[in-house]
Structure 1
Amino acid sequence: MASKLILHIGLQKSGTTFLQHMLQHNAEALADAGVRYPVPADWDRGRRTVANHEWSSYGLLGTEYPWVSERRAAEEAPAWESVREQVRESPGTVLLSAEAMSVVRGPAARRLLESLGVADTEIVVTARSLGRALPSLWQQHIRNGRSTTFGGYLTGLAAHRDKGPDHVENELDAHIWRAFTLSGLARRWTDAGASRVTVVTSPGRPPELLWRRFAEAAGVPGLAEIPTVQSEGARAHGGLTAPETLVIAGLNDAMREGSWSRRSADRVRQLATERFQTRERRGAKVVVPPEWRERVAGWSREDVAALPGTGAAVIGDLGDLAYDPGRDGASAPTPEEAAAAGAEAALAFAELHLRGGSSLRRGARKIRRRLP
């Protein structure tokens, strides 16, 4: 049985993929330091670009995640048993990493810790400013096929938050605030039986600073000297700018009206997103809408002020978690920026169509040459 368990819960858009790639890439160096990062044998199935333990946890917690079906949970059950087995077989420290564990409710958190059964369990949370996280969350919402405006998205979040902490902790659909209300997250895992909770603040850049802070929290500061590497999937996880996000939202509307299949719609979004990543002048970044900035700043102040009272240790600067609305510029892209992004998406589809057509024409010529 492992003598210690470190459970890394990276909030969405806090550098989680970067850290997981570093852990996977440096698994041998971790092992030399007495820390095992189990890499699932089938980690590269589906769309995953890096090894982590999120899908494995579906096998235990299942529909506790709002997006996981009972069928999917049953499919992942063997993966969770594999993780448990590796924890039982490891004599030293085991480190697991799963972003989605930030959203589970208290009973599910306790069930997970009891399933692993390691007495000395530390939770390491990586987090960033709410004012920086919300634009990224809305982008992901759009990339998942929605077309809600940023203001509409924030209205939905506000409705959950305004119902109070009990609602956030118990209502399945309030999962965003279960993750991003840091004080609630820290208390939840402490109450579930964790020995310690440590919050690592994400500075955004440089990534080396986040890695050093994480290595310190994991108790292996020597890893901080390892050069950082970028994941091959980093481009796929790159953010969208404001005009690009609006183009994807418009595509989502059009494809929904046209009853496109999910698979085809996903492919269209992927093509456009990959094309956007190659642009030199991509337009303004997504920022909190002006009419929401003071309210988001108030949420941020509440959460940062409540964190010290949880007993969680903090590595980094609490200032990294603050949101200064004065630093955000204009929120609406110009018509020229939106037109340029739309043209880029159209070019991506045109090139795909032309390549496919050319291939068909070549095939037809080969067949004709073989005919008598």
Structure 2
Amino acid sequence: MAKRVFVHIGAPKTGSTYVQNVLFDNAERLEKAGILIPATFAAHDQAMTDLRAVPWRDPQAYWTWDLLAEKAAAFGGDVILTSEGFGAASAEQAKRAVETLQPAEVHIVVAARDLWRTLPSMWQQSIRARSTWRFEDFLAAVEKGEFEQFWEHYTANRMFLRWADLVPPAQRHLVTVPPAGVSHDLLWQRFAGVLGIPGGVCEPAAPTSNPSLGAPEIEVLRRVNAALGDRYPHRMPYQRVVQQHLVRAVLQKRDNEVRFGVGLDRADWVMGLAEQQITELRDYDCHIVGDLGELRPAGMRQSHSPDELDDRQILDAAIETIIGMIGHAEDLQGLVPAGRPGMLARVRRGIRRTIG
């Protein structure tokens, strides 16, 4: 039976990918040190979609929450479970998860990041997950209180309460994300301290690689999503085709130099939200690693919205994207073994659907 189980529940866009890469890349070394991170990241992701019973769960998913919990229970030391999607579970789903893991000592770990960086990151993440709404519509919905999912699914305060209220204060851990420009190693050291990972066990990972798209590039993707209609309704097929052949292979490789973000006209609103968030977390009985002051936006400067781009900028980006996809198709053709025209035909059909 597991002694302690650390459930890292998010929030999204808080350096989770980097932390997870270090954990999974060092899984064997961790297990030798008495710490299990079971199976693969894909297994944790599938278990998350099962726990939350989301409509976009991949029909071919193998791992369930119960299967992952069973794997954790069979280990005699500490266990780490991680998915930034866990935090969006309902109160009932979180309760089921914690009860499934007991009688092990369950710890809840959440990371928090300043809202000035979180808002544009989360909108971009939603577009890369198949959404189609404009950036200004997203900001207006949050500002008017018409998009409660932002707070419930993407920020530390509410997701932490749903999960952390289920365990004693000493087993609630809040990690603040260091400001921009600080080495990823500091974030890892904060997580390692919470997870009880001794120094020297894990080899650090290179900072990865989920680069943000620029304003023209994310607007092209938003319009492609709208044009796709009802194609790829499930997340995994969308990731296998659109994410793989359009986002990763082409859009992320562009210069993405035209940045976007929240305008200074909303600076007071964001700062007020940040102070409210800091107050709520300071008043909550939990173990804080880092500094709540890091949730206060710094270096706020004027940014523009993808909505402000003119048609010429978007057309230029779309043409360059098509050129990039032609090059990507050419590269794929070189990887197909001779005598396998059926495979190549499927690849070509996938690319045509992506850009069609």
Structure 1 residues 266 and 22: CA distance shift in structure 2, 3 A:
closer
Paired residue for 2:2? 2
Paired residue for 2:191? 214
Q: Does structure 1 residue 83 correspond to structure 2 residue 68?
A: yes
Q: Does structure 1 residue 56 correspond to structure 2 residue 47?
A: yes
| Equivalent runs, 1:245-260 vs 2, <5 Å | 245-256=218-229
Residues of 1 paired with 2:331 and 2:202: CA distance?
46
Residues of 1 paired with 2:11 and 2:119: CA distance?
11
Show CA shifts across 1:46-101 (max 9, x none): xxxx4551311333x343x4x446x95xx768633332222222111111112111
Cα contact 2:109–2:174 (8 A) shared by 1:
yes
Residues of 1 paired with 2:232 and 2:203: CA distance?
44
Structure 1 residues 156 and 350: CA distance shift in structure 2, 3 A:
same
Q: Which residue type is aligned with residue 324 of structure 2?
A: A
Residues matched between the structures, number: 328
TM-score calculated relative to the size of structure 1: 0.76
Cα contact 2:88–2:153 (8 A) shared by 1:
yes
CA drift of 1:245 comes to 1.0
TM-score calculated relative to the size of structure 2: 0.79
Structure 1 residues 37 and 282: CA distance shift in structure 2, 3 A:
same
Q: Does structure 1 residue 342 correspond to structure 2 residue 318?
A: yes
Structure 1 residues 35 and 356: CA distance shift in structure 2, 3 A:
closer
Residues of 2 paired with 1:265 and 1:80: CA distance?
22
Residues of 1 paired with 2:246 and 2:129: CA distance?
13
Show CA shifts across 1:12-43 (max 9, x none): 1111122111111111221233211111xxx4
Cα contact 2:26–2:202 (8 A) shared by 1:
no
Structure 1 residues 307 and 358: CA distance shift in structure 2, 3 A:
closer
Cα contact 2:108–2:173 (8 A) shared by 1:
yes
Paired residue for 2:346? none
Structure 1 residues 320 and 246: CA distance shift in structure 2, 3 A:
same
- Quick one: percent identity of the two aligned structures? 28
The equivalent position to 1:129 in structure 2, one of 114, 139, 147, is 114
RMSD (Å), alpha carbons: 3.3
The equivalent position to 2:96 in structure 1, one of 94, 107, 111, is 111
Paired residue for 1:94? 79
Give 5+ residue unaligned stretches, structure 1. Answer: 44-49, 162-172, 364-372
Paired residue for 2:157? 183
Paired residue for 2:175? 200
Of 196-205 and 306-315, deviating more is 196-205
Cα contact 1:7–1:95 (8 A) shared by 2:
yes
Of 335-344 and 89-98, deviating more is 335-344
> Any idea what SS the aligned residue of 1:314 has?
strand
Paired residue for 1:16? 16
Residues of 2 paired with 1:297 and 1:80: CA distance?
38
Cα contact 1:151–1:289 (8 A) shared by 2:
no
CA drift of 1:354 comes to 6.9
Q: Does structure 1 residue 155 correspond to structure 2 residue 132?
A: no
Structure 1 residues 330 and 158: CA distance shift in structure 2, 3 A:
closer
The equivalent position to 1:227 in structure 2, one of 190, 200, 204, is 204
Give 5+ residue unaligned stretches, structure 2. Answer: 340-356
Cα contact 2:174–2:289 (8 A) shared by 1:
yes
Q: Which residue type is aligned with residue 49 of structure 2?
A: Y
Paired residue for 2:354? none
Q: Which residue type is aligned with residue 239 of structure 1?
A: S
Return the index of the structure with the highest Cα Rg: 1
> Any idea what SS the aligned residue of 1:111 has?
helix
